[in-house]
A = this chain, B = another copy of it.
Amino acid sequence: MFTVQQHDATMPARAGMLKTVHGTIETPAFMPVGSLGTVKGIDPDELQSCGYGLILGNAYHLYLRPGHTLIAEQGGLHRFMQWPGAILTDSGGFQMVSLADLCRITEDGVGFKSHLDGSWHQLTPELCMDIQVALGSDIMMMLDHCPPYPSTESQAREALERTTRWAHRCLAVPRQDHQLLFGIIQGGVFPHLRQEAASQLLELEFDGYALGGLSLGEEKATMFQIIQDVTAKLPLDRPRYLMGVGLPEDLVEGVCRGVDMFDCVIPTRHGRTGWLFTSFGRVLIKKAQYARDEGPIDPDCACPVCQRYSRAYLRHLFVSNEMLGVRLNTLHNLWYYGTLMSKIRNAIRHGQLQEFRTQFYQARDPHGQDVSSDTVCV
């Protein structure tokens, strides 16, 4: 189901194909986040036009609303949301900890108070699998115990060991033949714990491996070191998925360290706040300097927004809190991310990843005011 077609000569980066019953996805790939059965404001045709064949759903959110049994009755999540491509569902372990009003993690699973109505729920590894089977996910994620950042070493160890025990339980739950299941490697910011977590999961029969618990506030350099060390340990023939990451530069750096899949709310959420991505850095559309700017967001962008609308109009929509602005900003950002991944894949296939990476950073003017403030340790 996963084949690597091209390895980079000098870095662990690779280009491959991930087969699902809802289409084959070229990797490295970015997955837009559609937690509640919709990528906010964007329809399936638009997602496809941006080059996406795989998007994210969320078991926690869909379990609470509208309920996984309801979605199963409606023919599964693909049919419910009319998405013809593939779907990876996150287990929701992270959301329970971050969103729920109250959350108690025991050996049995995660008990939490719904952020919607305060009702009490207990999500076990088994229920979490059942939910994702009911949704009809192409790629299911195991329920993991994601420790907060910062955590002590003993907290991180407890979480990773529990994650391994839950991994066994998740694998024991029957799923449909075509449904892939990925394990999640925890271990906080402790290199030896990450190695331990990877070793334990590698003994099990997962279809792919995710790195969880990153981009939670640790230094970028720490994150990239962990990614590099962990992917070095993972089998070459299984996809690696870096969860919840990140900015464009994080995708470039993740790929260079052997990551195949990414998801993040950044292109959609930042779009809603008027933070637009371009090859030359970010454009904060609310700025007064764009009030009379007749040009597109990015003159080099071929997206339907840049082909049609001026910065002046987009700024007006943003300042006026108009929904069309949110929609257009989101569409542009998703197009940017989709195109970025396409360029990365092409660079790998042509043996030019390092050149691409250099150009990627050169295109950003370090003296310009619009370059992202998050500098990256390359």
Contact = CB atoms under 8 A, between A and B. Distances in A.
Complex copy number for this chain: 2
A324 interface: yes
Contact of A65 (B42, B65, B316, B325): B316
Pairs of residues from A and B, 6 with the lowest C-beta to C-beta distance, nearest first: A41-B323, A38-B324, A66-B316, A36-B320, A38-B322, A82-B308
Nearest to A307: B82
A95 interface: no
A73 B323 contact: no
A73 B42 CA distance: 31
A320 B74 contact: no
Interface residues of A, number: 36
B294 A74 contact: yes
A82 to B, nearest CB: 5
A317 B325 CA distance: 20
A232 interface: no
A327 B323 contact: yes
A74 B312 contact: yes
27 contacts: A36-B316, A36-B322, A37-B313, A37-B316, A37-B317, A38-B322, A38-B325, A40-B322, A41-B323, A41-B324, A41-B327, A43-B324, A43-B327, A65-B316, A66-B315, A66-B316, A66-B319, A70-B292, A70-B312, A74-B292, A74-B294, A74-B312, A80-B312, A80-B316, A82-B308, A82-B309, A327-B327
Contact of A291 (B37, B70, B313, B324): B70
Contacts of A323: 40-41, 323, 326-327
A105 interface: no
A81 interface: yes
Interface in A317-365: 317, 319-320, 322-328
Given A36-B320, A323-B41, A326-B323, A310 B74 contact: yes
